[in-house]
Amino acid sequence: MPLSLLRPSHFPLAVIGVAACSQTETLSSTFSQFNASLLDIFPSGAIFPLARTCFVFEESDGDTTLDLTECPPGLVVLPSMMGNKKLYIGTLLADLCSQILGEVGVLVQAMESPLGNEYLNASLMPILPPLSDIPSPLDRGDSTIQLTSHNSQPEMSRASFNLTAPPPMKRNVSSGPAFRQSTLGIQAPKKRLSTIGTSSSHGRLYKVLGDFFLLAGRIEDATIWYMEAIQLFRGSNDSVWHAATLEGMATILIIEAWSAGHGLHDSTVPSKEPWVEVCEKLTQATALYHKSSTSDGEQIHSLLTYLFCSCVLRHSFLLYSVWSAKGWGPPAFTAMLQPGTRPYFPATLSSMHHDAWVDLERLSSISGVSRSSISATLSQLHGPWLLHLGPRERVSILEAMASIYSCLGYMRKEAYILREVLGCLLDLMVCGREEDGFSDPSSVASSAGLGIQPMSGVGAGWGNVGVRLSESVDGNGSILRLLVYVCQVLGIDLEAVQMINSVDRVASLANDKESILKYEEEIIEGFQEPYGWPELQVGVVREAVAVAEALPGEQCHVFLPRNDKNSLSDFPSVAQFALSSLKILQSVLSPGDQFHLYSTSTRALITASRRGDARSVEYWSGRPVISIELAPLPSVRLPIEKPWSAIQLKFGDPTPLLQGRDPFLYNPRKAMVDKEKSLVVENEHLDFLVLLQNPYIFDLELEKVSLSTSGVEFDSESVRVVIPANSVHQVILSGKALQSGVLTIRGCIVQALGGVSREYILPLYSNEEEQKHLRKRGLQACEAGRAKHPGLASFAGDKERRLNVTQGIIEQSTTPSFRFLECKVVPEQPLLRIRRTSVTHGALMLYDGESSTIRLTIDNISSIPVNFLRLAFEDSTIAHAQQILAEGNLSVYDTYETEHDLINRPVFSWTSDESRPIAPNQNLTLTLSCFGKVGCTHGTIHISYAHLAHQTSAPEVFYLRQVSYPLTVTVYHMLECCNMEILPFPSYAGTAHKTSHPREGVTKELVVDQSSGWCLFSIEVRNTYGLPFDVKFERIRDGVTVTSIFATIPPGSMSRLAIPLNKIVLSEEQLSRPIPTLSDRQFVVTKTSLSEAEARTQRELFWYREELFKSVCGHWQETGGVRTGELSLRGQRLTLPMLKELRLETVEVTVGLAMCEDEGSSLQQSGTKYSLKSSEFIHLCTRITNLSGGMSRLLQRFCVF
């Protein structure tokens, strides 16, 4: 034991054994067992322990009879009948102390001999041989060791051992306060140098004497010997012993100060702090240890390093004790006396937050010891010389350093030291495996201290099967917690990815409040500022993963392949650390590091799962889900919600046609429906488009991705997805709703490879939530730019706590109420398809005004019958007409013409008589009419259908589906009508005839002779097409064609056709009616202000024009063909001259000439001309006919020309 003389206080002075002796045991056997146990602990021939004794307690059963005559020396028997054993044991302990002091005297006597002193000065760390090998000194009488009796306590008035005083000192020795005993003194100096030897120095001997006096409690004697030793060491190069002597002096100063504090001596007022002198001596000792040099082996270097580190730690603990106790005093002594490497924190400060900067600086101000001075003293420990220490001593010293740094609030320095502690522990584990044969290179490839040791005696017959020898996993948790703490100080949260047990593997939907709070935390994490030094953090996470890989794993007694290199790792922790590093440091990790961490975690999770480990990790790759939306349903499967009142709407109602889909300018129900949920059908396939992201450089494999839903039951299928590196990937998740109701899509449930499922919600932001997030981002931006936080004050956790104080006001005022994507599931609906049609390639070609038919056959391919069928049509001319009607800029006349064209001349039409129920797997053929209209380019046939269940009360809404058939329409414009004219057509005598049938449609009271008035209708027809057409105009009376006129118009030619028409007369009642509107609009505003006469004229023109178009119509037919159509006259205008010729007057006047009755002759008449003789009297006959229905007063005047 090289330090036994340099540091005797580090060795046990005595050993006490305690034994119980039974009837079957003897005292000699008990003493033999005691000596054997001592040999296992202390080598034979060692100086220490100086005394040893064994207390044997007799059992109290009454049958034990011990032979006390056989009691060997060093064995003390305590009979069972002894009453006060405590008092007796105290006496035995006093005897043991006397024995120790006696043995010290013997040891000192041996060192005083010439040979002993030569041994003491033979090397830097001397070791004495057995004391029997050292002869006694010649003047034995002068140095007789006075030992006290072994049977009684030594007297306090005499010394336990007396040594001669040192040679006369050449200086004045002033000893500090110490124990003063009248009988305790130093003998008169004697000349004894000749007995010791002239070749050896006395300094080491004096230093050892001072140590023994100090252990004996004789501080004054120890001080004298220490001072003499220092005087001798100053002139020599024995710096190690010199430094050890200074440490002893520092210890004496502490004891003297402690004694003064307890009133054991007269107190004096010091000129400076008591601990200052102690620090000075320890500083000198540290310097002496540091400059010591030796050429001895590695063991001496290890001991020197240990002495140096012990001195620095003693100095640091002294300063820390004064600092933590708020100055010099009893609390400081209490802190210095606490055992262990963990610094003691006084009780007066235990309730303080000692990691708060203000509290720590307050301690520095009160105590007079700054944290920086303690840290500077402690920093002397760290250096390459630590490598000379053994692993256990190195761990102990580094642990003490880290503890002091932690108490001082230097967290990053503590983390730096703890990293080295972890390195030492890793070396111990690896070396331990090598000593046990766990990493035999012939059996398995080595990897960072991990391996599998084959069974002893295993030969080639075992093949590729090996046995994993189990290692103890005790202490794994502590090392992992140490790793987590070190990384947390450096800004790395190794527990960012939580580890979950197997009982929690099933992903359960959290309530709305928990989900929203978790979602808020994830959003806030995205705006946090980065913390720490990226390069340092990357290096630390590499070390953390390596340490976790080196830890022994769970003991699984199974046969494993020999090439399983990681059989001793703590696999879930490896995966947790690697994935947490990926999650936290993704922006600073290089591609190689990212791939390494991901591959390491994947292998660890697969191996842990294969070995039945119940632990796993949650999903780690941030928020993978960017968006979720319902894939648009095909138009044939899309359900449409309609009010029940739509069933009562008559087929052919022009209101939707004229004003679009809704008859009102503003419909609140429509505004509400547009914002409602998406409609889906029960038990039908649904697709959801989910957008996933992968911010890493490797392909991210997700074992399971499924929808998270609530509401009605939803059968969803999970999929396995591989997201390419650094990309956004879209995946389709399918399923079907099994019930009708509301289906809520909360988000997605994601499970990474080997991990645990986790739900990620994806709410829909409202304006309120969006404003709240903007406020949070603004607060964080304000906090980040307001001030710079020094050192650890910029740690993300501290900033988050400070920010939460500000955010608390907002959190209390706003309650999160997120909405999710919702779908309204309607009951099952039938499904129709268009099986065939009579239109080729969906193209329809017509002439202007031509009428044709098409046939559509529809099939019911569902299991639900169709009992409601409606058809609606759309073409390219409707939208433009509806737009100009909605603008309201047309005159009343133009409005009527536009509405008339939409209603009476539709491109497609259908009679509802063909509608009938369609059973499952049955079909129905529909016949539709088509009309050629110039300007129509395309059209669509919409077939709406539904299954209306019979219910006692009518529901508010029902649901239908729609199948559409688009058509391409081509209309050829070939004939144009223009220049309509109405000319007078006079009546000739003898052509008039009377009729008793009045004209219907004009007035029932009007009796008109058809010969009373005629007009001539003429119009020009131009053929702009390349084929000739036959044109026919008909005069219609009572719906029957009366007269017609034909003409064939060649291509590019124009012909005028004329046909006589009866004049028309309308009653005042008919003419007083306003021009009607065919729509049911709420407001019709007249934009022009007309006088009464102008308004009457406008009405007359309108109503007479309508009657004209009822009397004449035009048709065309392809020359030599069968295609026919209508020739429209709606584009022609009626002018006032035309109106004058068309209108029949209300009074008919007939004038004629006749001879007088007495003349007896008649006049010669030729048509309307009469031949008269001059100077003859004739009669002028006038006939006035009232054609109106009422009495008329007339005034007759004759004018002769």
Q: Is the pLDDT of residue 916 over 60?
A: yes
Residue 928 sits in the same domain as residue 835? yes
Contacts of 254 (CB under 8 A, 6+ apart): 278, 318, 333, 336
**The pair of three-digit structure tokens given for residue 902, joined into one six-digit string:** 């939409």
Confidence of residue 73 (pLDDT cuts 50, 70, 90): confident
**The pair of three-digit structure tokens given for residue 603, joined into one six-digit string:** 């292998």
pLDDT for 932-948, tens place per residue?
999 999 999 999 999 98
Q: Whole domain around residue 1161: which residue ranges?
A: 1147-1186
pLDDT for 775-807, tens place per residue?
777 776 676 656 666 555 555 455 454 445 444
Pairing of strands 1169-1171, 1164-1166: antiparallel
* pLDDT recorded at residue 787: 62
* pLDDT recorded at residue 793: 58
Q: Which of 368, 344, 364, 367 lies closest to 356, judged by CA?
A: 364
Q: Is 887 exposed, middle or buried (0-12, 13-18, 19+ CB in 10 A)?
A: exposed
CB 225 within 8 A of CB 206: yes
Residue 861 sits in the same domain as residue 920? yes
**The pair of three-digit structure tokens given for residue 626, joined into one six-digit string:** 């960017």
Question: CA-CA distance, 380 to 377, in Å (whole number)?
Answer: 6
Confidence of residue 701 (pLDDT cuts 50, 70, 90): very high
* pLDDT recorded at residue 794: 59
* pLDDT recorded at residue 874: 92
Q: Which of 1007, 1060, 1029 lies closest to 1190, judged by CA?
A: 1007
pLDDT for 19-60, tens place per residue?
888 767 788 888 888 888 888 888 877 788 888 899 988 877
Q: Is 963 helix (H, G, I), strand (E, B) or coil?
A: strand
- Determine the length of the chain: 1201
Residue 437 sits in the same domain as residue 333? no
Question: CA-CA distance, 1139 to 1121, in Å (whole number)?
Answer: 38
Segment 254-259 mean pLDDT: 87
Confidence of residue 825 (pLDDT cuts 50, 70, 90): very high
Segment 879-900 mean pLDDT: 86
In-domain check, residue 922: yes
* pLDDT recorded at residue 995: 38
In-domain check, residue 142: no
Residue 1069 sits in the same domain as residue 992? yes
In-domain check, residue 189: no
Residue 502 sits in the same domain as residue 581? yes
**What DSSP assignment string belongs to 90-120?**
HHHHHHHHHHHHHHHHHHHHHHHSHHHHHHH
Q: Which of 961, 968, 966 lies closest to 870, judged by CA?
A: 961
Q: How much is the mean pLDDT over the chain?
A: 78
* pLDDT recorded at residue 265: 47
Segment 922-939 mean pLDDT: 94
Q: Which of 916, 968, 922, 972 lies closest to 945, judged by CA?
A: 916
Segment 1091-1108 mean pLDDT: 91
In-domain check, residue 582: yes
Contacts of 991 (CB under 8 A, 6+ apart): 1011
Which residue would you say has higher pLDDT here, 529 or 814?
529
Which residue would you say has higher pLDDT here, 1178 or 661?
1178
pLDDT for 986-1025, tens place per residue?
654 444 443 333 333 333 333 334 455 789 999 999 999 9
* pLDDT recorded at residue 181: 34
Choosing from 588, 617, 646, the residue where a domain stops is 617
* pLDDT recorded at residue 156: 32
pLDDT for 950-961, tens place per residue?
776 778 889 999
In-domain check, residue 788: yes
Residue 248 sits in the same domain as residue 351? yes
Query: Helices 767-786 and 796-813, interaxial angle, to 10°?
Result: 140
* pLDDT recorded at residue 1000: 36
Q: Is the pLDDT of residue 322 over 60?
A: yes
Of the ranges 157-161, 737-741, 934-938, which one carries the lowest mean pLDDT score?
Answer: 157-161
* pLDDT recorded at residue 940: 94
Residues pairing with 1183 in the sheet: 1150
* pLDDT recorded at residue 569: 56
Question: CA-CA distance, 279 to 317, in Å (whole number)?
Answer: 11
**The pair of three-digit structure tokens given for residue 259, joined into one six-digit string:** 């004694």
Q: Is the pLDDT of residue 1152 over 90?
A: no
- DSSP class of residue 165? P
Segment 810-833 mean pLDDT: 76
Contacts of 500 (CB under 8 A, 6+ apart): 615, 616, 617, 618, 756
Residue 980 sits in the same domain as residue 1051? yes
Question: CA-CA distance, 771 to 748, in Å (whole number)?
Answer: 25
Highest mean pLDDT among 234-238, 270-274, 640-644, 1115-1119: 1115-1119
Residue 435 sits in the same domain as residue 549? yes
* pLDDT recorded at residue 257: 85
Question: CA-CA distance, 381 to 851, in Å (whole number)?
Answer: 108
Tell me if the pTM is above 0.85: no
CA 629 from centroid of its chain's CA atoms? 18
In-domain check, residue 948: no
Residue 534 sits in the same domain as residue 390? no
Looking at the chain, the whole-number percentage of residues with pLDDT higher than 90 is: 35
Radius of gyration of the chain from Cα atoms?
60
* pLDDT recorded at residue 175: 36
Residue 1101 sits in the same domain as residue 1159? no
Residue 1127 sits in the same domain as residue 1154? no
Choosing from 1112, 1142, 1172, the residue where a domain stops is 1142
CB 550 within 8 A of CB 438: no
pLDDT for 505-558, tens place per residue?
544 445 566 666 777 677 666 666 667 788 899 999 998 898 888 887 654 433
Q: Quick check: bond before 955 cis, omega within 30? A: no
Give residue 841's region: left, alpha or beta (phi > 0; psi -120 to 50): left
* pLDDT recorded at residue 1086: 57
Question: CA-CA distance, 1097 to 1102, in Å (whole number)?
Answer: 9
Give the CA distances from residue 1050 to residues 861, 975, 1120, in Å, rounded to whole numbers and listed in that order. 52, 11, 13
Q: Is the pLDDT of residue 696 over 50?
A: yes
Give the CA distances from residue 777 to residues 523, 525, 795, 1091, 1103, in Å, rounded to whole numbers and listed in that order. 10, 11, 19, 68, 72
Query: How many domains, the chain?
Result: 6
Which residue would you say has higher pLDDT here, 737 or 183?
737
Q: Is the pLDDT of residue 665 over 50?
A: no
Residues pairing with 715 in the sheet: 736
Of the ranges 140-154, 836-850, 1121-1135, which one carries the lowest mean pLDDT score?
Answer: 140-154
Choosing from 617, 636, 653, the residue where a domain stops is 617
Looking at the chain, the whole-number percentage of residues with pLDDT higher than 70 is: 74
Q: Cβ of 193: how many Cβ atoms within 10 Å?
A: 10
* pLDDT recorded at residue 1088: 63
Segment 700-727 mean pLDDT: 93
In-domain check, residue 163: no
Question: CA-CA distance, 720 to 711, in Å (whole number)?
Answer: 25
Four-residue CA torsion sign, 445, 448, 454, 456: positive
Segment 1108-1115 mean pLDDT: 93
* pLDDT recorded at residue 346: 61
Per 3-state DSSP, what percentage of the chain is helix, strand, and coil (rounded to 5)?
A: 40, 20, 40
Residues pairing with 642 in the sheet: 958
Q: Which amino acid is at 862?
A: S
State the distance between the two ends of the chain, measured CA to CA, in whole angstroms: 171
Of the ranges 954-968, 1059-1073, 1171-1185, which one carries the lowest mean pLDDT score?
Answer: 1171-1185
Question: CA-CA distance, 1000 to 917, in Å (whole number)?
Answer: 43
* pLDDT recorded at residue 548: 87
Residue 426 sits in the same domain as residue 389? no
Q: Cβ of 671: how many Cβ atoms within 10 Å?
A: 9
Segment 493-497 mean pLDDT: 88
In-domain check, residue 569: yes
Q: Return the residue matching tokens 């003297």.
A: 256
Query: Helices 591-610 and 571-584, interaxial angle, to 10°?
Result: 150
Of the ranges 97-106, 666-675, 1008-1017, which one carries the lowest mean pLDDT score?
Answer: 666-675
